[in-house]
Amino acid sequence: MYTDLKSYQNALIIHDFTVEFVKRYVDRSDRSHRSYKSYSRMADQMIQAARSGKQNIAEATSSSKQKPKSEPMLLGVASASLKELLEDYQDYLRQHQLTQWGKDDPRALGVRGLYRSDRTDTSHMSDTTDRSDRSHRSDKSYQTYLSNAEDACNAMICLINQTTYLLDNQIRAVERQLNEKGVSLESHAQKVKRIVAQERRREQEVDAMVAEVLKDI
């Protein structure tokens, strides 16, 4: 199940955290409303990117048997959405003159440690799904970073980087398995382009052979 995926569990935390971050720290376009729908465009983009990351992981896993080619594509969409969200958090820090932690900053190491301390299995070494032991992580440890905007942004930057790394590895593993099963990931247009290129190379090789023969006549 997709809920067993560490990438999905991370994406769920990222989504819920982002919704709360927006409520606390992103300006509303109309302060007379309390619904997130009245937030600024940046707020809407952040929530949609976080949701896309979570939903596409779920859809990729759910459709993997019926439409195996769609799995790496949807995982790619999830990764791209989370990378877009990463940019939003980095933009927020820059625009509000806040500090982005370096990768070796003790605070960043502390956030990364939350993830590592929960990696109780080694299935990611061989299983493309990178499944956990079904004990879903609580996001309570991450919630403590919501006390101020700088900590919140940096915590999500760390977690998003970890999650997109997982997803990119997951995509490569799925593609490798599909290739081993003989499932082509090419689109029709890509296949036509490849065949045409192969034919042109053959024609060039034949022309070169003919030219070589005629040279000796």
How distant is the alpha carbon of residue 132 from its chain centre?
18
Q: Which of 44-48, 58-62, 139-143, 208-212 has the highest mean pLDDT?
A: 44-48
Both 158 and 199 in one domain: the answer is no
Q: Is the pLDDT of residue 148 over 60?
A: yes
Range of the domain at 98: 2-183
Give the total number of structural domains in the chain.
2
Both 45 and 86 in one domain: the answer is yes
Both 33 and 128 in one domain: the answer is yes
Q: Mind listing the pLDDT tens digit for each residue in 51-110?
A: 999 999 999 887 766 676 778 888 989 999 999 999 999 999 999 999 999 989 999 999
Both 26 and 127 in one domain: the answer is yes
Q: Mind listing the pLDDT tens digit for each residue in 115-127?
A: 666 654 333 333 3
Given a contact cutoff of 8 angstroms between Cβ atoms, the answer to whether 157 and 86 are in contact is yes
Both 51 and 120 in one domain: the answer is yes
User: Which of residues 76 and 129 earns the better pLDDT score?
Assistant: 76
At 21, the pLDDT band (50, 70, 90 cuts) reads very high
Both 76 and 11 in one domain: the answer is yes
Cα angle vertex 19, ends 162, 154, to 5°? 40
Give dist(CA 57, CA 74) in Å, integer. Answer: 7
Both 60 and 30 in one domain: the answer is yes
